[in-house]
Amino acid sequence: MKLLIVTQKVDQNDSILGFFHRWIEEFAKHFSLVTVICLQEGEHHLPENVKVLSLGKASGTSRLQYIFRFYKYIWNERKNYDVVFVHMNPEYIVLGGWFWKLWHKKVALWYVHRAVNTKLRIAEKFADVIFSSSKESFGIESSKVRFVGHGIDVEKFEHVPEASYEPLIIASVSRITKIKRLEIIFRAIKKLREQGIPVGSLNLVGAPVTNEDVTYKKYLESLAREFKLDDVVRWQGIQPSERAYAEASLTINAAPNGGMDKVVLESLAAQRAAFVSNVAFVSFFDDKAETFVFDNADDLALKIETFLKIKNKQTIIDTLSKKVREEFDVRKLISRISKSLV
């Protein structure tokens, strides 16, 4: 069987989408030929049975040229694929769905996002199967949806040293944007310090993208001054996730309810405690949900304080880390998806 993948970017060095390079490597183990159409092509080192075709965003190509190249590629390569796998961009199914149906190509969509729009609704009609990480990650009721979890490259985190809590280093790994609710973390750290619990640093790993994000960062900077946190807040920008976790004692993810955030699972794979506000993680944490799932800033501060007093912290983290490795290893995920496509 031969596979066509349509994705946004193929670049192993990209801070956000670099993980997909690993996915392509794994798909190449299950298909005789993998053709990848991407909006933008960067550095990659992929198996010999993988061919990458770029729509040319890096060279300043117009949207009309993107669309023309997209149709050119799916037509020219039509004998080189039996199945189509579209990653996170339902608009490509909107564009190519009629043709793929006409050519009897099986069409699959991977979609993990709270947003539901017209493009997604149309794509759902054309897709034969839809993959998502959890029920909270796909907002349309459809018999085509299969919830398969996330795919974490657990091998990246095998050599991360055991966490140290003196000094207490808290990390948040995310885009600097309003929906991530980072002000909750600031308020929790203010509370911890008022309770006499020293915090060595808050490492904010990520960067703003839009003008609105930049405005939000300025708000956080003013909040840090107001809360007298200037001495602990560290704006670290974009960096490899394994480095971010290696430097941290624990991580916090204050994103609202929705799909399971991949960075939480990565934190646990790296044997770092992860405190979350998203109730989608309650079933994952199981009997430890009360320890790690928080409601607000005061609750978060209390849960961190309580956790620091637990004597068998490492045993708990080891158990959760093992669970991530068993359930969310990217090799197992791509294997499950590939079996569903052939």
Determine the pLDDT at residue 241.
86
Cα 21 to Cα 81: distance, rounded to the nearest angstrom: 19
State the average pLDDT for the chain: 95
The tens digit of pLDDT for each residue in 109-164 reads 999 987 889 999 999 999 999 999 888 888 899 999 999 989 999 998 988 899 99
Determine the pLDDT at residue 114.
76
The tens digit of pLDDT for each residue in 214-247 reads 999 999 999 999 999 999 999 999 888 889 999 9
Determine the pLDDT at residue 119.
96
Determine the pLDDT at residue 137.
85
Enumerate the H helices of 77-202 as residue ranges: 91-102, 118-126, 182-194
Question: How big is the CA angle at 91 (ends 85 and 92), to the nearest 5 degrees?
Answer: 40
Question: Per CATH, which fold does 155-327 belong to?
Answer: Rossmann fold (3.40.50)
Using alpha carbons, list the distances in angstroms from residue 183 to 29, 118, 229.
43, 32, 12
Determine the pLDDT at residue 124.
96
The tens digit of pLDDT for each residue in 271-317 reads 999 999 999 899 999 999 999 999 999 999 999 999 999 999 999 99
Measuring CA to CA, which residue among 170, 164, 166, 159 is closest to residue 250?
Answer: 170
Half-sphere exposure of 339 (CA within 13 A, CB side): 8
Question: Per CATH, which fold does 2-153+329-341 belong to?
Answer: Rossmann fold (3.40.50)
In the chain, which residues fall in CATH 3.40.50.2000? Answer: 2-153+329-341, 155-327
Q: pLDDT grade, residue 17 (50/70/90)?
A: confident
Give the other-Cβ count within 10 Å of 198's Cβ.
10
Determine the pLDDT at residue 149.
87
Q: Which two tokens stand for residue 55?
A: 């729509």
Find the mean pLDDT for residues 70-79. Answer: 98
Q: Does the N-terminal peptide bond of residue 208 adopt cis geometry, omega within 30 degrees of 0?
A: no
